[in-house]
Amino acid sequence: MLLATTAIVIGVALLIWGADRFVEGAASIAKNLHVPTMVIGLTIVSLGTSLPEMIVAAMAAIDGNRDLGIGNVIGSNIANIGLVLGITAMIVPLTIKVRTLKRETPVLIMVTFLAFALMSDGELSFSDGIILLIGLATLLTWLTMIGLRDRHDPLVESLTEAIPEATPMGMSVLWFIVGLIVLIISSRMVVWGSVEVAHYLGISDLVIGLTIVAIGTSLPELVASVVGALKGEADLAIGNVIGSNMFNLLAVLAMPALIHPGTFAPEALIRDYPIMIGFTIAMLLISFSFKKHCYRIKRFEGSLLTAAFAAYLFMLYLEST
């Protein structure tokens, strides 16, 4: 148990570090090859926001454990709203421009219900994975079109501003390779440790994915959102959350569907996915304001989101025990 827990903690830390190095190397290689900055932001960096979840879901699927990956997707999206957005708003109340919610959130809702429709038969098939990848390509194309028209769009801006500085090609390739190796090793550690802990505690792999793994892989979004809010860039904070949730549902959920298609634990669809939808709707409702040009998430609303997330974890604990 101690060894498995240590593997999860160290694995998550290495997973986050490896993802940063991988994205840094890939983005820097693209820069050295004179790929436009916006294209780098909307492809390499955008997918990098969900890279830890993607690698964990892929490795879990290779081991035949699709529930861990699916739990990671749903749990990460719940954590992004309840934990990341909640804590960020408690630290710094978020004032959000109206265009952020009017443009990006309807797409998030469509992606959310697309994934729900694909999962509604109780299984993720290979064709479902293909549909999710088509949705991902469509999303990237849409973001590129937005970026060409409006470079100050919050989601586009949050992705392009995250592009690291270019480094010499040799160092870029080195970071790319090192990041990839660390991602593979650390994801194996996380998956192994999670399965061992689940078996030791007598709980499902789905619950481990919904909790420990999801919270661990959501830490980068928490840091990015808090830093953005402290800089007075609230739109970037919520842009990180909305973007991450969309990429989780399209890119990460596609991993178990493509690698190890089949049925999954019914609780994911009956219990957890509706809760994820509820958190998404709650984010929209508490953000709404009658002011013409902005929405606002105050400290009280942030505390409500965080409390709701804590209540969800407690519910999982009660059901598991």
* CATH number of the domain where residue 132 is located: 1.20.1420.30
CA–CA gap between residue 35 and residue 32 (Å, rounded) = 8
pLDDT digits (tens, 9 = 90+) for 82-113: 998 898 888 888 776 656 566 777 888 999 99
Q: Between residues 255 and 48, which one has the greater pLDDT?
A: 255
DSSP labels, 111-126: HHHHHHHHHTTSEE-H
Whole-prediction pTM value? 0.84
Overall domain count for the chain: 1
Tens-place pLDDT, residues 137-177: 998 888 777 767 766 665 666 666 656 666 777 887 888 88
**Domain of 161, in residue numbers:** 2-320
Cβ atoms 42, 151 nearer than 8 A: no
Neighbours of 45 (CB within 10 A): 24
Give the per-residue pLDDT at 257. 94
In terms of Cβ atoms closer than 10 Å to its own Cβ (0-12, 13-18, 19+), residue 246 is buried
Contact 254, 133 (CB under 8 A): yes
Write out the two tokens for 202: 């007598």
Give the containing element (helix H, strand E) for 263: strand 262-263
**The tokens 């570090």 sit on which residue?**
17
